[in-house]
Amino acid sequence: MAAFDLAGLDLDAISARERRAAGGSWAVWIFAVLLAFAWLVPFYYLLVSVFKSNAEYGTGNPLALPHSIGPLADNIAEAWSKARMAEGMFNSALYGICGAGAAVFIAALAAYGLTRIEFRGKGFWFVSINRSRSDGLSGFVGRIIRGKVRGEAEKGMVAVLAATKSKLEGK
């Protein structure tokens, strides 16, 4: 096992980089808060609107709080019938069940063929299928995510080594 030279670490530079990375800039924080606000306002609008009657919705400020929760059941029933929600939910369930069933059936056929039948190129197909992962860590975006995780792990390891060095030196 190769030795790691702790004397070559620039602890001040590591500490400064960690402070910069932990603090972030004000522009990033302001952008994140504005983005969160822009994302949450439609949900607030939806939540407030569902409790209002048509008359209350038309006469007041759309973002104002409702006077009561009374119209909720009527609003749900009206939306269910006008938007044909039952038909849409049935279609979604049918699509999900049939799609998942077809995917499992095709995968079972492929698995049987790869494990029980000898043919030329079997290893290529096995590796190709195995490399097309569904966890999102393959391809271009996966390379970025893995690089970020690797970088964070490396920074953490350096920080632990630096802390260990300072404890051993009695600082």
Residue 168: inside a domain: yes
Looking at 117, 132, 147, the residue that finishes a domain is 132
> In this structure, are 106 and 92 located in the same domain?
yes
Does a structural domain hold residue 11?
no
Pick the most confident of 17-31, 71-85, 137-151: 71-85
Answer whether residue 7 is part of any domain: no
Q: What pLDDT, on the 0 to 100 scale, is given for residue 3?
A: 62
Decide if 34 is inside a domain.
Answer: yes
Evaluate if residue 86 carries a pLDDT over 60. Answer: yes
Contacts of 129 (CB under 8 A, 6+ apart): 110, 114
Same domain, 75 and 40: yes
Whether 16 is in a domain gets the answer no
pLDDT tens digits, residue range 100-110?
Answer: 999 899 889 98
Note whether 145 and 167 are same-domain residues: yes
Tell me: the pLDDT tens digits for 132-160? 655 555 555 666 777 777 778 788 888 88
Domain identity same for 93 and 120: yes
User: Is residue 142 located within the same domain as residue 124?
Assistant: no
First to last CA, the chain: 27
pLDDT of residue 133: 59
Same domain, 169 and 127: no
| 94 shares a domain with 73 | no
Residue 49 is part of which domain span?
Answer: 26-83
Looking at the 3D structure of the chain, how many domains does it have? 3
Assess if residue 15 is contained within a domain.
Answer: no
Query: Domain boundary residue among 68, 83, 98?
Result: 83
Half-sphere exposure of 94 (CA within 13 A, CB side): 6
98 and 75 in a single domain? The answer is no
Which pair of tokens denotes residue 8? 């070559």
Distance CA 77, CA 46 (A): 16
Give the Cα separation of 134 and 24 in Å (integer).
32
Q: pLDDT band for 95, please (50, 70, 90 cuts).
A: very high
